[in-house]
Amino acid sequence: MGQKDSIEKLLEDYNDVFADIIDVLLFDGKEVIQEEDLVDVRTRSQYKADDALLHEQERDVAKLWKSRNVCIALIGIENQTQIDNDMPLRVIGYDGASYRSQILGKNEERYPVITLILYYGDKPWSGPKSLHESLNIPEGLRKYVNDYPIRIVNISYLTEEQVSEFQSDFQIIADYFVQKRVNHGEYIPGNQEFRHTDAVLKFLDIFTSDERFSEAAESARKNGEEVRNMCDVLDRVENRGLEKGLEKGLEEGLEKGRAEGELNKGIIVFRNMLKRGFSIAEAQAIAELTDDEVALAEAKSQNKC
């Protein structure tokens, strides 16, 4: 598993965050699932393709919801930053593997499998939302092909009421994406305190392609300070931006100073060669000056007090 894949699953893998996401998006904010009712399950399954080779497929996050040792459902979460036209087929693969494991299991429990796709794009999902929409089906066959709808949640298009219903760190994530869309790229941080600071900031790093979030946390750690909320994060991001601007200015100033020093040396050599009787072309070649730099040297000579 790649490091990026591991990091993007880290936040949602916490039971409090996972339960919160499901309670808000499936149960309209009612506290139906308790943290202690969630059990981690394998997210990786194997299958044979047309090439007869054994392949693997892996969900982002999946948990078994149990109550009094009875399995109520297996729930999976998939994260998407881009539209995938094969998403219905992928979901069928994940769900089918979960149902097959029930058939092959030692007990006779049978429970539903639910997959939720969280889409973080700034435009609504325009890809297929069902198996029928993914396939080119001749009209005469459509009624014989079982359909398979999937559930897509456009995170950036959640309502303010929905965002406020989140009780975990996911409220920070949802609020960020909604604000960025509604406010045309602007974001005003709230004061909700992090519970899983590192996971939140790494999640934002990946889903916004902006490494300044985790850089802020790293900076705080080095200084023995605490990042409590998004206000702290953005303060550090802003300060770091100023620091980088100053560093860049100093570097450019030093580079400019070095360049000017080299030019002045060349002009001195050029003048000395002329004094010794060399022609302008010969002096220019020895001093390694351009035509513009020769003109500058001659101008400086004329203006010399």
- Using DSSP bridges, classify how beta strands 38-40 and 70-80 pair: parallel, antiparallel or unpaired: unpaired
At residue 251, the pLDDT reads: 54
Residues β-bridged to residue 64: 39, 74
How many whole angstroms separate alpha carbon 66 and alpha carbon 242? Answer: 51
How many whole angstroms separate alpha carbon 101 and alpha carbon 115? Answer: 16
Which tokens sit at 215?
């850089």
The average confidence (pLDDT) of the chain is 82
Backbone phi, psi, residue 168, to 5°:
-100, -170
Instruction: Convert the pLDDT of each residue in 1-27 to its tens digit.
Output: 445 555 557 899 999 999 999 999 999
At residue 35, the pLDDT reads: 94
Contacts 24+ apart (CB under 8 A), 296-305: 296/263, 296/267, 297/266, 297/267, 297/270, 297/271, 300/267, 301/271
At residue 1, the pLDDT reads: 41
At residue 301, the pLDDT reads: 60
CB hemisphere CA count around 136 (13 angstroms): 0
At residue 48, the pLDDT reads: 40
Are the C-beta atoms of 118 and 81 separated by less than 8 Å? no
27-45 b/e (C-beta count within 10 Å ≥ 16 → b): eeeeeebeeebbeeeebeb
Instruction: Convert the pLDDT of each residue in 47-65 to its tens digit.
Output: 344 444 434 568 889 999 9
Q: Is the pLDDT of residue 177 over 90?
A: yes
At residue 291, the pLDDT reads: 83
How many whole angstroms separate alpha carbon 249 and alpha carbon 266? Answer: 26
User: Considering only CA atoms, which of 24, 19, 13 is closest in space to residue 164?
Assistant: 24
Q: pLDDT-derived band of residue 271, with 50, 70 and 90 as boundaries?
A: confident
Torsion angle (degrees, nearest 10) of CA 181, 187, 189, 192: 10
How many whole angstroms separate alpha carbon 97 and alpha carbon 44? Answer: 9
Residue 188: CB atoms within 10 A of its CB come to 10
At residue 15, the pLDDT reads: 96
At residue 256, the pLDDT reads: 55
Query: What percent of the chain stands above pLDDT 70?
Result: 79
Instruction: Convert the pLDDT of each residue in 65-117 to its tens digit.
Output: 998 889 999 999 999 999 999 999 999 999 999 999 999 888 888 999 999 99
N-terminal to C-terminal alpha carbon distance within the chain: 72
